[in-house]
Amino acid sequence: MSYPISFKKPAVLQALRYHFMKQPEIKTLMIVINLYAVVTAVLLFMKKIRPEPFLLGSLLWIVLMLYFWYILPNQFYKKTTLFKERWDFSFTDNEAQLIGALGEASWLWENVTHYFESPYFFHFYFSPKSFFLIPKESISMEDKHIIRGILKDK
């Protein structure tokens, strides 16, 4: 069965945020910055340091959140023409296929290294940085379960 899919910008931006925040290096960076902010806040409260280190950590946290939450997803969306086209998505037990005006792509389910679901998309990963989004909106509930079953089996 073939499903027509298109990408809505707000949903794609949210999916890209999920993708970027799940990256191990970004998670680690955010944990380090948060720990720094907590430690400097405690030291500031105990009057062991001046306010500048705490303010620096807070400013750094705000800048990184703006970058990873707004700027990076928007840049990625603008660069990728794939999100602006309509596609037909179909799948079998062995492979999935996309056909559109820009061309076509197919992949074997075995090539998907891992996947996860966000509220609006299936995120298929072929390597840590290579992924594809399939909107769940136009896929029937029964076929969503079939896709989940195929991915769990593979």
The CA distance from 33 to 89, in Å, is: 41
pTM for the structure as a whole = 0.84
Starting at the edge strand found earlier in the chain, the sheet holding 95-100 runs: 2-5, 87-91, 95-100, 103-108
When pLDDT is cut at 50, 70 and 90, the band that residue 15 belongs to is: very high
Residue 152 is predicted with a pLDDT of 84
When pLDDT is cut at 50, 70 and 90, the band that residue 58 belongs to is: confident
The CA distance from 53 to 33, in Å, is: 12
pLDDT higher than threshold 90 for residue 8: yes
Residue 138 is predicted with a pLDDT of 85
pLDDT higher than threshold 80 for residue 1: no
Residue 76 is predicted with a pLDDT of 95
Give the contacts of 111 (CB within 8 A, at least 6 positions apart).
126
pLDDT tens digits for range 63-94: 999 999 999 999 999 999 889 899 999 998 88
**Considering the domain 2-7+81-153, what is its CATH architecture?**
Roll (2.30)
Residue 128 is predicted with a pLDDT of 83
Give the start-to-end residue ranges of the domains of the chain: 2-7+81-153, 9-79
Highest-confidence segment of 1-5, 51-55, 74-78, 79-83: 74-78
What's the Rg (C-alpha) of the chain? 20
Residue 18 is predicted with a pLDDT of 92
Q: Are 65 and 59 in contact (CB under 8 A)?
A: no
Residue 142 is predicted with a pLDDT of 92
